[in-house]
Structure formats: C-alpha cells, structure tokens
C-alpha cells in the first residue's frame, strides 16, 4: 500500500495497510483499532507488535486478521470482533443479542453506590433490561453481601449475562430471567437499575453505523419520543422497592425533566442525577414519595 515502508508480510506493513483501510471506512481511531485486531489475530499483546514491527505475520494470523479487518471496515463493532469489552472492573462477553456496555453507563453504577453512602444497605438488586448484565454485576462486585436478579426479554441476552456472572466470579450471587420488564418479578429490592431504550424512533437509523447496523433495535428504540419504556417502568417501580430503596435509571440527553415528571406522577421522587463523561445527565436516582 502507498505510504507503507515496511516489507509486505511484516507486522508494520499489515498495520499500515489496515490503518489506511479503516480510515477510508470512517473509523475514528484506525491505527489503534488495527493494532487491537492484529494482536487479537496473533494472540499476543499490542506492545508485542510494537516491539518488532518487521516481524513476519504467520499465515493463519494474516487470514484471521484480514477477515476481522473486512468486518470492521463494514463498521461491525470492535467489541463484537473481539468478543468482549471492559466495563467498570469487569471483562464482559458481548454478542449481537445485547447492547455493548459503554463507559457513560458507569455513571449508573457510581450513582447507585453514592445513593447508599457505601455498600452496607444494598442487599437485593434488580436490573431490568439487563443485557450483558453489566450494571448488576458491577454493583455486585462492589457490594460483597449483595445478591441480584437480572431480567431481559431476549433469552440470548439472559444466557449471556449468566455466563458473564460466572466468568467474573459472581455466578452464585446473580440469577437471570427472561421477562417483559418487571412482569416476571415478585418481591422487593433495595436497588433497582435499568438502562432502557431511550432513543427516538426517527433517530435510530441516523446513529453511527456501528450502532444502527449491528446493535439490537429493541434495546435502542424508545418510541416516538424516546420515553415509552420509562412509562412502563415507573408504574411498576414503587411496588418493587424495599423501605429506603432506590431506583437508578439511565436517561438520554435532555430527557431528565420528562422522565422526572413521569416518575413523580407514578409516586417516585427524583433525588439526584449524575453526569456522564461528557457532562450530560445520564443517571437519575429516584425513591418512593
């Protein structure tokens, strides 16, 4: 490829060519992602690639890298290609059955822990729309005495979350069910978490290709105004909370006033909000009125 000075079969040449291809495909960090994919294909660390850029890439690794590169150039998410993503202190398996956990959602975990001024009072946790199990498992990892239940409408998502619990040493404290939000749930919880779909239907097709093409529409589309899931959730939440319990919801940009109004009408009081990495209100904390 033009501009690639290393010998054709070397690590450096593969990375240079891959970076050019990914840049042309609109990937924001093409060289970094090229290194991640080649390290994955070669089953080594990224620093190993940089140590000797003139090293040859074995044939099987070159074939695997080419296949990964074509998928990424089509904007399939990196997390799907690698099969995993880091969230909080955990490493989670991901699949097309669920949303990919993002750093902004760590604000939900932060808000949940802050709402209890520590971990002693968090005993039972419920995660509605659990996906990979990220929110529930992150809270359980911080609260050694807590147990939790995750609910997802997609059987593949519930199974994935159960695998993530086991892989992170939390399988004995987390159970996962298939259900339509809270309809399958009885009992009360100290903490209820949820990252529901909150993107307006008309906006979904215009999301970045990595999301619009490859992440499940069911987990993205929040209806015409983005609030459909909140309308259902807030009606069920008061009956799920233990005395002193808290709800922490993820919300979209600009949605705080509308979600707060829905919560108040359902008998819940907004008590705090937490911002994400961009300073946007992302986590809304509620308690019973």
- Give the pLDDT confidence score for residue 4 in this predicted structure: 53
Could you tell me how far CA 228 lies from the centroid of its own chain? 20
Could you tell me how far CA 173 lies from the centroid of its own chain? 20
The closest alpha carbon to 237, from 221, 251, 249, belongs to 249
- Give the pLDDT confidence score for residue 118 in this predicted structure: 55
CA-CA distance, 97 to 155, in Å (whole number)?
Answer: 9
Residue with tokens 């044939």: 59
Q: Count other Cβ atoms within 10 Å, centred on residue 251.
A: 24
| Cα distances (angstroms) measured from residue 222 to each of 30, 130, 267 | 31, 16, 22
Q: Give kind and range of the element (H or E) at residue 178.
A: strand 174-178
Enter the pTM of the model: 0.91
- Give the pLDDT confidence score for residue 2 in this predicted structure: 43
What tens-digit pLDDT sequence spans the chain (289 residues)?
444 544 458 999 999 999 999 999 999 999 999 999 999 999 999 998 988 888 999 999 999 999 999 999 999 999 999 999 999 999 999 999 999 999 999 999 999 999 987 545 899 999 999 999 999 999 999 999 899 999 999 999 999 999 999 999 999 999 999 999 998 788 999 999 999 999 999 999 999 999 999 999 999 999 999 999 999 999 999 999 999 999 999 999 999 999 999 999 999 999 999 999 899 999 999 999 8
């Amino acid at each position: 490829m033009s501009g690639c000075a290393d010998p054709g079969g070397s690590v450096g040449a593969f990375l240079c060519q891959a970076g050019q291809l990914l840049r042309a495909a609109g990937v924001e960090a093409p060289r970094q992602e090229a290194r991640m994919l080649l390290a994955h294909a070669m089953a080594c660390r990224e620093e190993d690639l940089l140590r000797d850029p003139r090293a040859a890439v074995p044939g099987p690794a070159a074939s695997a890298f080419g296949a990964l590169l074509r998928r990424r150039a089509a904007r399939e998410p990196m997390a799907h290609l690698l099969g995993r993503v880091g969230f909080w202190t955990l490493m989670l398996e991901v699949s097309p059955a669920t949303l990919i956990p993002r750093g902004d959602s760590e604000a939900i975990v932060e808000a949940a822990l802050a709402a209890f001024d520590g971990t002693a009072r968090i005993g039972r946790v419920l995660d509605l729309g659990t996906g990979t199990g990220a929110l529930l498992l992150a809270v359980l990892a911080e609260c050694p005495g807590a147990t939790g239940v995750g609910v997802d409408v997609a059987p593949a998502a519930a199974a994935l979350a159960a695998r993530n619990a086991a892989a992170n040493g939390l399988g004995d404290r987390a159970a996962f069910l298939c259900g339509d939000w809270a309809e399958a749930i009885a009992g009360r919880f100290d903490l209820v978490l949820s990252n529901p779909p909150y993107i307006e239907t008309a906006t979904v097709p215009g999301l970045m290709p990595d999301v619009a093409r490859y992440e499940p529409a069911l987990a993205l589309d929040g209806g015409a105004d983005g609030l459909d899931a909140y309308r259902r959730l807030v009606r069920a939440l008061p009956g799920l909370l233990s005395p002193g319990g808290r709800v922490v919801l993820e919300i979209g940009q600009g949605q705080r006033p509308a979600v707060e109004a829905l919560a108040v009408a359902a008998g819940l009081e907004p008590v705090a909000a937490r911002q994400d990495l961009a300073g946007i209100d992302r986590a809304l904390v509620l308690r019973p009125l």
